[in-house]
Chain A
Amino acid sequence: MGGKLFRNFSFFSATLSFFLLLGIFAVLFHYAQDAIHTFGIDFLWTDTWEADEDDEGGVFGGLIPIVGTLLSTLIAMLIATPMAMGIAIFLTEIASEKVAKPVSIAIELLAAIPSIIYGMWGLFYFAPIVQKTVGGDGVGLLTAGIVLAIMIIPFMASITRDSMNTTPAVLKESAYAMGATKFEVIKDVIMPYAKGGIIGSIILALGRALGETMAVAFLIGSVMQLPKRITDPTTSIPVLLANNFAEAEGLELSSMYYLALILFVVSFIIISTAKFYFFGRKAKA
């Protein structure tokens, strides 16, 4: 009797994540209907975002926040990927255990710091440095991209480290016995062995960077314009939602739901790709 109840509750809880995902999709899709009907797929490459003064209409296109999201993520990935690889190599192959342990902890603490702290720190400490060295307003694509990189490095580095650590010592030792240098072992033995996990970690970090809100909100400038230079302020989908969603009405609100839907679907695809394709079915029999 109690067993059955327990089992049912357990089953119900498990199916909840399925219904939540479905629910999020359905709700976003429902509220985005107006915008989808009005603008269709052209929404993706329309660079106007203007509400009418008199009624609840206007012309809304997602190009600017979409470009801003993609570019800030691209900058972050270009910086974060080599850095994270370097850190993972350092932790698994270079550092002695005495050094690797505290460094690992420091990297994981870096990952635990809330994103709003990165945003605030970036705004008051990092943006002025960017402004001094490369010009611009301080806030903009570049600053947002760099701080975003700092945020995703720890996450990427720790997954990469874990997959590098799964390389059997025998394989590495055989390569060393053949006279391979450390770098050759890393390149020809460890990297191929850990490839799936490494690419998976990059894709997961990509998903995080695309959806990151608070750090970017402080740093990207929140201006509705296409950036012409790398230091220009612009906006991104999460930032536009964070700053303007609450005040929007009518068609503008519906367009915001449309953007949220796009972000949700894109990150769903990215994460699923990472999961199914690269990590394989991790669930051991």
Chain B
Amino acid sequence: MNRLMLNKTILILSTLAAVIGVGFLFWILITLSYKGIMAIHWTTFTHDLVEGGIRNLLVGQFTMAILASVIAVPVGMMAGIYLREYGHGSKLAAVIRNLSDVMMSAPSIVIGVFVFAILVDPFGGYNGFAGIAALAIMMIPIIISTTDNMLGLVPQELREAGIALGGSKHKIILQVVIKAAKVGIMTGILLSFARIIGETAPLLFTSANNQFFTMNLTEQFPSLTVSIYNLATYPDAPSRDLAWAASFILTVIVLIINLFGRFVVRNKK
């Protein structure tokens, strides 16, 4: 094969790979939308799982994801601030940065096992708090990494200007640096929220699932994703249909938050 032919072959194969990649996205989205929309009924949103709806599951999933964010966002941001503003250049910061990246890729099921050992087993049963903890552990490293990277983009001159005006370090961080990096950090928060709201593995044996509506975090807590896993494996058609409906709604939620994070927030500058 001469080199021009080889060139052409590789370019065609690469284009083909991209076509297949995009093709899969459409294939998944189209089949999911078809199955999901067919299965959705207005009672899907007004009834709880026990009556064939997903109201309690949606509320439960959002409750856990939001409360996990309430823990993970401040902790992750503060850690990112330390890495970039206080410990910058130090060996400790470099080590922590790397460990945090390792945490970010830790298998989610292992985090579930860990939380089971410390928050489920000793307290005698699955509970909502354990689910929140598992999701927060997944979210913290993502927030750390985003904050760290976004603060890194803030020009040094801004900090120096703050110092020149006589601002104390934490005031400069809060009122100058964070403000300058606000948009990027918001995007990161939204993207990581979109990621944890679709997590299943860390919830399987932490929050587990609940057929009924509850806001009591000390008992088994309703989860949309865990329900999808259970429902999809039942042999009866209504359960499967509900699993499709729930999957469709979950995907729409995740993709909307994702697109919102990517475009609206980014363009608001």
Q: How far is the CB of A129 from chain B (nearest CB, A)?
A: 11
Tell whether A41 is near chain B: CB-to-CB under 8 Å: no
Among the stretches B44-52, B111-119, B179-187, B211-219, the one at the interface with A is: B111-119
Interface residues on A, range: 35 or more
Tell whether B43 is near chain A: CB-to-CB under 8 Å: no
Tell whether A15 is near chain B: CB-to-CB under 8 Å: yes
Partner of A117, one of B13, B24, B247: B247
Partner of B20, one of A83, A238, A257: A83
Tell whether B267 is near chain A: CB-to-CB under 8 Å: no
Flag B68-81 by CB within 8 Å of A: 1 or 0 each.
00000011101101
Chain A residue, CB-CB nearest to B105: A271
Most buried by A among B83, B101, B225: B101
Bound together, the chains give a CA A95 to CA B11 distance in angstroms of: 10
Bound together, the chains give a CA A14 to CA B147 distance in angstroms of: 12
Q: Are A90 and B103 in contact (CB under 8 A)?
A: no
Tell whether B25 is near chain A: CB-to-CB under 8 Å: yes
Partner of A211, one of B106, B114, B118: B106
Tell whether B22 is near chain A: CB-to-CB under 8 Å: yes
Tell whether A234 is near chain B: CB-to-CB under 8 Å: no
Q: Which residues of B contact A105 (CB under 8 A)?
A: 262
Q: Assuming A14-B87, A90-B17, is B99 touching A242 (CB within 8 A)? A: no
Q: Which residues of B contact A58 (CB under 8 A)?
A: none
Tell whether B158 is near chain A: CB-to-CB under 8 Å: no
Tell whether B188 is near chain A: CB-to-CB under 8 Å: no
Bound together, the chains give a CA A51 to CA B224 distance in angstroms of: 32
Bound together, the chains give a CA A89 to CA B9 distance in angstroms of: 13
Q: How far is the CB of A124 from chain B (nearest CB, A)?
A: 8
Q: Which residues of A contact B191 (CB under 8 A)?
A: 112
Tell whether B243 is near chain A: CB-to-CB under 8 Å: yes
Tell me what chain B mostly uses at the interface: helix, strand, loop, or mixed. helix
Chain A residue, CB-CB nearest to B233: A218
Tell whether B195 is near chain A: CB-to-CB under 8 Å: yes
Tell whether B57 is near chain A: CB-to-CB under 8 Å: no
How many residue pairs link A and B with beta carbons under 8 A? The number is: 263
Q: Which residues of A contact B111 (CB under 8 A)?
A: 24
Tell whether B15 is near chain A: CB-to-CB under 8 Å: yes
Tell whether A263 is near chain B: CB-to-CB under 8 Å: yes
Flag A67-109 by CB within 8 Å of B: 1 or 0 each.
0000000000000001111110111011100000001011111
Chain B residue, CB-CB nearest to A284: B152
Most buried by A among B25, B103, B107: B107
Q: Are A16 and B75 in contact (CB under 8 A)?
A: yes
Q: Are A115 and B200 in contact (CB under 8 A)?
A: yes
Q: Which residues of B contact A184 (CB under 8 A)?
A: 3, 7
Q: How far is the CB of A37 from chain B (nearest CB, A)?
A: 18
Among the stretches A3-11, A130-138, A167-175, A225-233, the one at the interface with B is: A3-11
Most buried by A among B15, B27, B200: B200
Partner of A242, one of B25, B198, B204, B258: B204
Q: Which residues of B contact A12 (CB under 8 A)?
A: 78
Q: Assuming A7-B86, A181-B4, is B99 touching A217 (CB within 8 A)? A: no
Q: Are B18 and A103 in contact (CB under 8 A)?
A: yes
Partner of A95, one of B18, B118, B168: B18
Tell whether B207 is near chain A: CB-to-CB under 8 Å: no
Q: Can you report 27 residue pairs joining A to B where beta carbons are below 8 Å apart? A: A3-B169, A7-B170, A12-B78, A14-B79, A14-B87, A16-B79, A16-B140, A28-B114, A86-B13, A89-B10, A89-B14, A95-B18, A103-B21, A109-B255, A110-B21, A113-B255, A116-B200, A118-B28, A119-B232, A183-B7, A183-B11, A218-B232, A238-B107, A260-B110, A263-B109, A267-B110, A276-B98
Query: What are the 10 closest A-B residue pairs judged by CB atoms, nearest first?
Result: A211-B107, A114-B198, A86-B17, A181-B7, A14-B82, A13-B78, A13-B79, A213-B201, A90-B18, A86-B14
Interface residues of A (CB under 8 A from B): 2-3, 6-7, 9-18, 20-21, 23-24, 27-28, 31, 82-87, 89-91, 93-95, 103, 105-110, 112-121, 123-125, 150, 153-154, 157, 181-184, 186, 204, 207-208, 210-214, 217-218, 238, 241-242, 245-246, 256-257, 260, 263-264, 267-268, 271-272, 275-276, 281, 283-285
